[in-house]
Structure 1
Amino acid sequence: MNDRARPRHGGDAVAEALQAQGVACLFTLCGGHISPILSAAKARGIRVVDVRDEATTVFAADATARLTGRPGVAAVTAGPGIANTVTALKNAQLAQSPVVLIGGAAPTALQGRGALQDIDQRPLVEPHVKRCFKVGRVRDLAPALMQAFALAQAGVPGPVFVECAVDLLYDEALIRQWYADAAGKGLSLADRALRWYLNRHAAKLFDGSAAPAKLDVQVPAVPVAGAGALARALEALRRAERPLLVLGSQAVVEAAQAERLAEAVARLGIPVYLSGMARGLLGREHPQQQRHQRRLALREADCVLLAGLPCDFRLDYGKHVRRGATLIAANRSARDARLNRRPDVAAIADAGRFIQALAQGLGAAPARWAAWTATLATRDQAREAEIAAQAAADGEHVNPLALLRELDAVAAEDAVFVADGGDFVATASYVLRPRGPLAWLDPGAFGTLGVGAGFALGAKLARPRQEVWILFGDGACGWGLVEFDSFVRQGIAVIAVVGNDAGWTQIAREQVKLLGDDVATVLARTAYHEVAAGFGAAGLLVKHAHEVVPALARARELASQGRPVLVNVWLDKTEFREGSLSM
């Protein structure tokens, strides 16, 4: 039916709010509870991207948010549909990604009475989002969505949930007929009371729904550091002999500011380690950027600036920073700024903007910092030489370091890397050099496996002209394989490289050493490429080192023709990451 020919319904109100927010893609797995939203979104030119697992919808929305700086949007059906998103929601929350999840729900008059897929969804979702909106009237649908977008971006970004019951989404005449059929035509007092109640309930649902909603887009103010914190930080830097900057994902939450942030970091002249979404901020070969021996550098630095990351397990709960150093923490979250280690200067503000303000206030970097930077660069070069030597070692199959060095050499200069795995992906973080800002996506602090397919889907749709690579561990790829069906159907030409060492190697390394048992850590040399081919993608198998370069070249060629590709690479075991278990 033509959109103009059918009666207006609540799905139109939702779609109009999405359109007002500039949403280009709506990620979904279909369900009768949300069908009107999908139909109305399509009618308004919003691309509806359907996948095979509800978690994928949120992962894809998360990636879109990270790369665009605007909330990504997912819509899933009631009950199990919502339940299946919980891991992805928690991942977005801990990664501080602005995501709007729209969930269906049972009819308002039947909730709590055993309706299909009816559960109390608020307790399930509430711990993992900034707010739950439970909409009770059709006229409140669009305002709730507009508030959700603003809240997702405000302060510390994060996911927001909007519950839309099915009887708010279909047109009024149809819903009234449903209720009339449910009430029946009995003449008893109970029957008449039920009809009266349902008629009154329907009137409340649709009261005022004909009036056009106000679709004013709210852009939350960016939190800026106070003058006192900025002055104290500048004073500490001017005194410093060995300053160090560690930049995390929150520093690049304003995607549009990434280039300005890179320029500011360069002007500061402080040696810098980049982590999470900040990886690649300075390009591949910037002289200030350090990649190795971060723990040692933190212990030697006399002034440490943590911008957009907390002292969690990744910094050994603050113990990597020596007690005598001046610690400056810039973070939108007061809790994160003080987590495990109280800073000498706390700038509760956007970390990226704080770095820009510091660069403007500091002026030229003191000449005495050059020797410190050179010391760290020398260490980096020595570690690179060690990695090169380890990559040259031959084995029965493919050395993972050699594979990743070849991938780093051949990937396009605009390539985006998506990391989904344990040992193989952690190894990649030492070898691969993201080409520019916002060119690396990993799950973040939650360490979630299974993000790869959704992240790649969102990344390719956000940046359709760029080359997108998924780095899959063979354990992690089990979650994403089914989405090759989605890639093929949607024309999403990503390249996946599976590091296939037939095991959950990151766990096995320490488990076998500590317990003498490899139980539940052993996988097979599974033919993942054949599974991808079964979905209509291209599948390539690499068993030996001499096959790597031709396979990567072929994968790029196929992807450039619009075909998704999976390259299944049999890896040798290595000792590169011994002692790497995190707690």
Structure 2
Amino acid sequence: MESAKHAGDAAVAVSKAYGVETMFTLSGGHVFPLYDGAVHEGMRILDVRHEQSAVFAAEATARLTRSPGLAVLTAGPGITNGVSGVATAHFNGSPVVVMGGRAPQSRWGSGALQELDHPPLLKPITKLSFTATDAESVGQDVEVAFRTAVAPHRGPVFLDVAMDHLFSPSPAHEVRTQSPSPLEPDPDDLASIARLLAEAERPVLVFGSDVWMDRAEEAARDFAETWRLPVIPNGQGRGILPSGHELLVTRARGLAFGQADLVIVVGTPLDFRLGYGWFGGKEGAPLARVVHIADAPSQLATHMQPAASAAGDLSVVLWSLGAACGDAGVKPDAYSSWLSKLADAAAAATAKDAELLASESDPIHPMRVYGELGRVLADDAVVIGDGGDFVSYAGKYVEPKQPGNWLDPGPYGCLGTGLGYSIAARLARPSSQVVLLLGDGAAGFSLMDVDTLVRHRLPVVMVCGNNGMWGLEKHPMQLLYGYDVAAELQPQCRYDQVVTALGGGGELVTKPSEIGPALRRAFDSGIPYMVNIATDPQVAYPRNTTGV
């Protein structure tokens, strides 16, 4: 059998066979053969300033391209630094392979540099976490890692390789990648869902991130449009129905979820973002019946008993459910009055907010930022959210015109994703605008990776909502206790000067009239550029306590 130069060659060759184009990493001696393999195989190596950014970049690559991402981390602290990124990929169902270095097996137990048994640490937040058996097994082990990561339900896999094994000769591994047969839903489950829809008067359809990840956006849009169902997107479900679509009722979310009698949730968990699956019950309405549809049985809700559920490839599920609805006698015009009510509520909410989106208040109201941003975003812009209060407005006022163009940390809520996500977005969408929305708290986690953007010539526009505090904590603490602690940041901190010092551009904005021109300068600059906007610290994003 032909031998690779070393196990690093074998690992990278298998990665390329699974569509990996970029290795995200931070330099470490334990993994030099993987870098050498990337050089031999012509794979891009993109090095960052903190390992968490490498994993976040790999995860964003997976979410934007729907192909697996690869992060390579050196042993010990390199891997522990990446744990938050792996956990985020776990909660987002992102197919990421993290390859780690490992102290030499020949010295194991004698106190070698950064000797740590990593797989047990990663096991709870991965589909599979293991150590390569020896140099000869590396190619096969890497294939197992990728095959596991991309299988429904997708998720991260961790594999480490002992340093002495990684440097040793290893046989080339021939990969025979083949797409698994799509998981077929149970026809009886679909028939049950169709009957519920035929009986409903006030249905709502929720599209989550797995609709995008399962390449089911066409089937999802067709299902909504055929049966005239109001839609609320969640996560990367945004853009499946484009901004302005008549069935998109995001701005009437409270009314829709509060008075619905049937909520069909597709491709996202029934977690805190969706009130844990409890809908209806507002203004005299009974509790809604809930349908949960997932890409794999393991993702179906277990903390509550939905009225019906189904699992399978989401394209197959939605196309087949459409046929079942026809058999069940579902009538699209049956929901017209409900749809009109939601459309009127959405229009009223939009009209009500128009004044604040154009607010001349000083200090700047955060909504004015989004009013200005909406004027300069292109249809294919990739918008990334990394923050609390400030980014919450983005979830409400940024409605993508195309699917696959929205990234946020997801249900794990990990701050610091933004720079890694931005790196990946610029590589995945080289001709699109890439906009990173940062809270000033989130900026502190990863802003040093602007250096990565600069070194690799990756222009990104960063918009920082700078209110000088941890807004999600300060206001609630004051409400609860009458005081707050550990919630203050430096007012008008010059994060823009940090970006400038690292080789990018930036400016501080303190007046509403300055926002639009600053954004245009940022997009025209062709470099990493921060618009650092001092917003009113007294304004808190309005929240309820139910998650609905």
1:379 offset after TM fit, Å?
0.7
Decide whether the 8 Å contact of 2:184 with 2:317 is kept in 1. yes
Cα deviation digits, residues 30-77 of structure 1 (max 9, x gap): 100001101211221111110011111111111111111111110010
Q: Which residue, out of 146, 149, 154, partners 1:157?
A: 154
TM-score by length of structure 2 reads 0.94
Local SS of the residue matching 1:237: helix
Q: Identity of aligned pairs, percent?
A: 36
C-alpha change, 1:580 and 1:87, in structure 2 (3 Å) is farther
CA distance in 1, matches of 2:401, 2:449: 26
Decide whether the 8 Å contact of 1:539 with 1:567 is kept in 2. yes
Cα deviation digits, residues 109-131 of structure 1 (max 9, x gap): 11222100001112211111000
Partner of 1:42: 39
1:365 offset after TM fit, Å?
4.8
1:510 maps onto 2:470 in alignment = no
1:214 offset after TM fit, Å?
2.4
Q: Identify the range of structure 1 (329-338 vs 437-446) with the bigger mean alpha-carbon deviation.
A: 329-338
C-alpha change, 1:69 and 1:392, in structure 2 (3 Å) is closer
Decide whether the 8 Å contact of 2:55 with 2:85 is kept in 1. yes
1:420 maps onto 2:363 in alignment = no
Cα deviation digits, residues 386-439 of structure 1 (max 9, x gap): 222333443323221011111012111210100000000001111112121011
Cα deviation digits, residues 332-357 of structure 1 (max 9, x gap): 34454224321111102234542232
CA distance in 2, matches of 1:46, 1:261: 35
C-alpha change, 1:222 and 1:393, in structure 2 (3 Å) is same
AA aligned to 1:438 is G
1:582 offset after TM fit, Å?
7.9
Partner of 2:532: 568
Partner of 1:132: 129
Q: Which residue, out of 432, 438, 452, partners 1:472?
A: 438
1:575 offset after TM fit, Å?
4.0
Q: Which residue, out of 537, 540, 550, partners 2:507?
A: 540
Decide whether the 8 Å contact of 1:7 with 1:171 is kept in 2. no
TM-score by length of structure 1 reads 0.88
Q: Which residue, out of 444, 449, 454, partners 2:415?
A: 449
1:556 maps onto 2:509 in alignment = no
Partner of 2:319: 356
CA RMSD across the alignment: 2.0
Partner of 1:491: 457
Decide whether the 8 Å contact of 1:265 with 1:359 is kept in 2. no
CA distance in 1, matches of 2:226, 2:80: 47
1:324 offset after TM fit, Å?
4.7
Local SS of the residue matching 2:251: coil
Partner of 1:406: 372
The structure 1 segments of at least 4 consecutive aligned residues displaced by more than 6 Å after TM superposition are: none
Give runs of aligned pairs for residues 171-320 of structure 1, distance below 5 A. Answer: 171-172=168-169, 209-210=170-171, 212-255=172-215, 257-320=216-279
CA distance in 2, matches of 1:157, 1:309: 13
C-alpha change, 1:515 and 1:222, in structure 2 (3 Å) is farther
AA aligned to 2:320 is A
CA distance in 2, matches of 1:7, 1:308: 41
Q: Identify the range of structure 1 (156-165 vs 339-348) with the bigger mean alpha-carbon deviation.
A: 339-348
CA distance in 2, matches of 1:335, 1:151: 15
AA aligned to 2:458 is I
1:171 offset after TM fit, Å?
3.9
Local SS of the residue matching 1:482: helix
1:260 offset after TM fit, Å?
4.2
Local SS of the residue matching 1:292: helix
Decide whether the 8 Å contact of 1:29 with 1:53 is kept in 2. yes
- Unmatched segments (≥5 aa) in structure 1: 1-5, 173-208
Cα deviation digits, residues 90-110 of structure 1 (max 9, x gap): 111011111100000000111
Cα deviation digits, residues 232-272 of structure 1 (max 9, x gap): 111221222111101111222124x4344333332232001
Decide whether the 8 Å contact of 1:133 with 1:144 is kept in 2. no
Local SS of the residue matching 2:34: helix
1:484 offset after TM fit, Å?
0.5
C-alpha change, 1:389 and 1:340, in structure 2 (3 Å) is farther
Decide whether the 8 Å contact of 1:98 with 1:158 is kept in 2. yes
Decide whether the 8 Å contact of 1:337 with 1:343 is kept in 2. no
Cα deviation digits, residues 300-322 of structure 1 (max 9, x gap): 22221011122221222222345
Partner of 2:51: 54
Decide whether the 8 Å contact of 1:77 with 1:103 is kept in 2. yes
AA aligned to 1:345 is A
AA aligned to 2:383 is F
- Unmatched segments (≥5 aa) in structure 2: none
Decide whether the 8 Å contact of 1:244 with 1:272 is kept in 2. yes
1:581 offset after TM fit, Å?
6.5
CA distance in 2, matches of 1:494, 1:408: 17
1:519 offset after TM fit, Å?
1.1
Decide whether the 8 Å contact of 1:154 with 1:221 is kept in 2. no
Decide whether the 8 Å contact of 2:203 with 2:230 is kept in 1. yes
Decide whether the 8 Å contact of 1:261 with 1:353 is kept in 2. no
Decide whether the 8 Å contact of 1:417 with 1:440 is kept in 2. yes
C-alpha change, 1:58 and 1:222, in structure 2 (3 Å) is farther
AA aligned to 1:235 is R
Local SS of the residue matching 1:304: strand
Partner of 1:198: none
Decide whether the 8 Å contact of 2:385 with 2:437 is kept in 1. yes
Decide whether the 8 Å contact of 2:441 with 2:469 is kept in 1. yes
CA distance in 1, matches of 2:461, 2:544: 28
Q: Identify the range of structure 1 (299-308 vs 343-352) with the bigger mean alpha-carbon deviation.
A: 343-352
CA distance in 2, matches of 1:124, 1:521: 31
CA distance in 1, matches of 2:151, 2:534: 45
AA aligned to 2:508 is L
Cα deviation digits, residues 135-169 of structure 1 (max 9, x gap): 12212111111111111111211100111111112
Q: Identify the range of structure 1 (13-22 vs 26-35) with the bigger mean alpha-carbon deviation.
A: 13-22
Give runs of aligned pairs for residues 323-338 of structure 1, distance below 5 A. Answer: 324-334=287-297, 336-338=299-301
Decide whether the 8 Å contact of 1:64 with 1:462 is kept in 2. yes
Decide whether the 8 Å contact of 1:242 with 1:303 is kept in 2. yes
